[in-house]
Amino acid sequence: MQWDPFDAIERDVRAMVADPRWADVPASTQTQAMAARLLATPDGACWLFGAHARWYRHDGTDGLWHLAAPPFSDDARSAARPAYPAPAVPEHLLPRAAHLAFDRGSVQAFVGPDVPRAITESVRGLLDAQRGLRGEFLGVAGPLSEAFYNDVPAPVAMVWGTIMWCAYAPAFDGNEVLLSMFGEFLARPLPGDDWVRWLPPVPLSALIEMYAGPLARGAQGAALRLAGLAASTARVLRSDPRFAPRAEALLTMVEPLAARPWLDHHARDAATLHRTWLARCPAHLAPAVLPETAPGEHFRHVLYDLVQALAFVGGQGGDPRATAAALLAADVQTVAPEAAGRLDPWLDAESRRTYQTALSAPEDPLRDCWPRAGEPAPDLLPPDRASAAALLGAGYATGLAWCRLTGTEPPAHGFPVSAATVRCLIHQRDDPADPLPGVPDVSPEWIRHS
């Protein structure tokens, strides 16, 4: 078995940063310690395991560090050596203990492994409690109002909005029970088809506007009950790793209101509330709210997830990073070619060259990765259902991220790459029969990512 310098450095950095004394070490000393742990690969790249507990690649053309998944092939990894001379390590890329505490959950979509029955039944219970509830609650306000009938009370929309906000990649099986229980409340069909529902992301502002409405009218009790319902929903969802990171983040924002209901009294308008809620999110959960705080950085991180989801390509002699850039080009070229150039600043030089080549050169081999007639490329067939669900989730999350970054409306029938990936799951959408009594209702196929 080959020695893997990347694994060794990652273990070493994690152990060093987990030591309580690390936080008291001066930044200049920390940068020296990290410089001694840089790796150089034969292609001339230099690698740092740093902030957010992820890898960064030093670009010799611009002298900057860029978030980038490390090499996947055993030969490339084992050939890495200590970097000398070492490029400077910027302070903002130094790893923190809070970064190591973040659990990224799973990047899988909700096609393939089902939402566990325990979650769907608990959400059904929350929803049943809202039926016919009017009184102090008016209809749905804000961005979610168009999705629901006029007589649907706000608590129903709060449950729905919480589910969608917490989902890493809201691409759901067309038969998903978690969606069908809302059928009587929805004023229009969900985007997608009977196979997959390609749902748009729900911003945190949509939840906050429903909370801010009664707060502004002086109906503090109604506002607190809506916030409590968001917390109850998030507590149910967090047992599924596809919801867990953002569910945990939302809980840190809304749970304090139960004990200190006056927390938001100074912030009656939605914009101030948005800042106030995000300020309550602790440092170790900051990556979960990147779509709200730093859409560009969020795009970089989900593209990193996509590269990881393509790890099986590395086992076939391919390059997951180049493949991810080519697939990004396939989606952008089809959905919004006019937005292509707006992503360039968010890509490292190597990925940017690959992306631009795939966009501009129809005969380039990179286009062999692109879907054909709705089918995935032969070399991009995931080896199993779990891997296909991860590729679908990471691909859809990447699509939503670049749409948000460029102001593009997400396509109602999915992005070409994600839609093609569904073909790998059509006959594997449903989990086996219900588990036996006493057996936890948890899928063994969840793929977690670092």
pLDDT tens-digit map of 20-33: 999 999 999 999 99
User: Two tokens at 269?
Assistant: 């308008």
Query: For residue 293, is pLDDT > 60?
Result: yes
Question: What integer best gives the mean pLDDT of the chain?
Answer: 91
Report, as an integer, the average pLDDT of 191-215. Answer: 93
Cα separation, 117 vs 79, whole angstroms = 46
Residue matched to tokens 């009656």: 268
In angstroms, the CA 127 to CA 308 distance is: 36
Segment 151-168 mean pLDDT: 95
Residue among 40, 31, 26 at smallest CA distance from 13: 31
- CB-based contacts of 399: which residues, under 8 Å, 6+ apart? 331, 335, 410, 415, 417, 418
User: Confidence class of residue 102 from pLDDT cuts 50, 70 and 90?
Assistant: very high
Q: What is the C-alpha to C-alpha distance for residues 193 and 171, in angstroms, rounded to an integer? A: 11
Give the ranges where 152-254 is alpha helix by DSSP (H): 154-166, 177-180, 204-216, 220-237, 244-254
pLDDT band at 235 (very low <50, low <70, confident <90, very high): very high
Span of 168-172, 215-219, 294-298, 431-435 with lowest mean pLDDT: 431-435
Is the pTM higher than 0.75? The answer reads yes
Which of residues 141 and 300 earns the better pLDDT score?
300
Q: How far is CA 375 from CA 61, 378, 392, 400, 403, in A?
A: 37, 9, 13, 21, 23
> Residue 407: left if φ>0, alpha if ψ -120 to 50, beta else—which one?
left
pLDDT for the residue 450: 59
How high is the pLDDT of residue 438?
A: 39
Least confident range from 29-43, 129-143, 348-362, 401-415: namely 129-143
Q: Do the Cβ atoms of 168 and 243 come closer than 8 Å?
A: yes
Q: In which band, very low, low, confident or very high, does the pLDDT at 60 lie, cut at 50, 70 and 90? A: confident
Mean of pLDDT values over 295-319: 95
What pLDDT score was predicted for residue 62? 83
Burial profile 227-247: b = 16 or more Cβ within 10 angstroms, e = fewer: bbbbbbbbebbbbbbbbbbbb
Confidence of residue 120 (pLDDT cuts 50, 70, 90): very high
